[in-house]
């Protein structure tokens, strides 16, 4: 199978990212490229969903075998060389694109020539690329904003759900931390201690604290507080409960502490927040 789409130059010149061409190849043993440095001005992203092949790492010059769940990103103007296996060709989805967004993966690709990675959430990436293909059959100018948005989603989700092949931290550990964070957010009013959060994730308290800070960019306790503030904001904006009730329902034991933390986080007292966003709800 060979799906190949050329995307016309956008009529609007200020998209943060935009595809130049994209496609989906399966059972295509002739899929191979060698481009010298400076030959291609776009980023080149490939996600492997089946089969096998190899890519030449731009940093080391070594040949690396890639299989399902792995991929590569070449920087702009980088040397590129890759080839699908003749016996078991890749099932691969690819995008050539331009981007002007400060994502570490893009900067790394520009600096090193290429980034080799493993990724999860395979079904999600298939869904996003399939929608891009649909928008190209046929292409319409009205599809430009959505194509740009889908590409942005792919890049941001790839940053969140990928790990370098030579990385020290496994992708599964990242996913465990994110799943744990989602569970904590959904039950943020409960009494969360570091030990209880670590137990939920299946790690020691020390290991969990370190991993959580690496993946989420904040401590577990700060994350819990932010989740509780978000829950309180929703209560204040959509219900007639009192500030004391909102504090208790969102997980704060002391109303005075809730007011102090809320003001520091939001820049407003809970009562003023309700006045601005509560759509006429009475202060209590």
- Are 46 and 83 in contact by the 8 Å Cβ rule? The answer is no
Residues 141 and 206 in one domain: no
140 shares a domain with 41:
yes
Which distant-in-sequence residues (6+ apart) come within 8 Å of 269 by Cβ? 259, 262, 263
- The pLDDT value given to residue 59: 65
Domain boundary among 164, 193, 213: 164
Same domain as 34, residue 14 = yes
Reference 30, options 93, 86, 95; nearest CA is: 86
129-156 pLDDT tens trace: 999 999 999 999 999 999 999 999 999 9
* C-alpha pair distances (Å), 75 with each of 99, 149, 262: 11, 20, 43
Give residue 62's domain range: 2-164
**Cα separation values, 254 from 116, 210, 244, Å:** 49, 29, 8
The reported pLDDT for the residue numbered 224 is 97
Contact 268, 276 (CB under 8 A): yes
pLDDT at 284: 55
Judge if the upstream peptide bond of residue 138 is cis by omega within 30 degrees of 0. Answer: yes
- As a whole number, the mean pLDDT across the chain is 92
* Whether residue 174 is found in the same domain as residue 159: no
The phi and psi torsions of 88 (rounded to 5 degrees) equal -140, 75
Closest CA to 234 of 245, 248, 250: 250
Residue 221's pLDDT is what?
Answer: 95
The low-confidence residues of the chain, meaning pLDDT below 70, are 58-60, 166-171, 280-284
Q: Can you give the pLDDT at residue 215?
A: 87
pLDDT in tens, 35-58: 999 999 999 999 999 999 999 986
Domain count, the chain: 2
- Taking each continuous run of H as one helix and of E as one strand, the counts in the chain are 10, 11
- Model-level pTM? 0.70
Strand partners, 74: 44, 114
């Amino acid at each position: 199978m060979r799906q190949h789409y050329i995307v016309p130059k956008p009529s609007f010149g200020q998209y943060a990212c935009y595809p130049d061409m994209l496609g989906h190849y399966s059972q295509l043993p002739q899929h191979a490229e060698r481009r010298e440095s400076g030959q291609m001005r776009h980023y080149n992203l490939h996600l492997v969903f089946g089969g096998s092949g190899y890519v030449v790492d731009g940093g080391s010059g070594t040949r690396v075998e890639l299989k399902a769940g792995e991929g590569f990103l070449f920087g702009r103007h980088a040397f590129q060389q890759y080839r699908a296996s003749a016996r078991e060709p890749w099932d691969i989805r690819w995008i050539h694109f331009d981007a002007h967004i400060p994502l570490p993966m893009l900067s790394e690709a520009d600096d090193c020539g290429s980034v080799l990675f493993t990724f999860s959430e395979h079904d999600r990436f298939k869904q996003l690329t399939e929608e891009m293909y649909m928008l190209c059959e046929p292409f319409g100018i009205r599809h430009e904003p959505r194509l740009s948005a889908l590409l942005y989603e792919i890049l941001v989700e790839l940053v969140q759900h990928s790990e370098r092949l030579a990385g020290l931290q496994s992708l599964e550990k990242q996913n465990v931390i994110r799943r744990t964070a989602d569970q904590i957010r959904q039950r943020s009013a409960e009494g969360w201690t570091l030990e209880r959060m670590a137990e939920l994730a299946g790690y020691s308290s020390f290991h969990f604290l370190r991993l959580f800070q690496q993946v989420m960019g904040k401590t577990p306790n700060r994350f819990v507080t932010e989740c509780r503030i978000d829950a309180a904001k929703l209560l204040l904006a959509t219900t007639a409960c009192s500030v004391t009730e909102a504090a208790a329902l969102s997980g704060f034991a002391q109303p005075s502490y809730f007011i102090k933390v809320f003001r520091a986080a939001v820049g407003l007292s809970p009562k003023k927040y309700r006045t601005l966003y509560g759509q006429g709800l009475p202060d209590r």
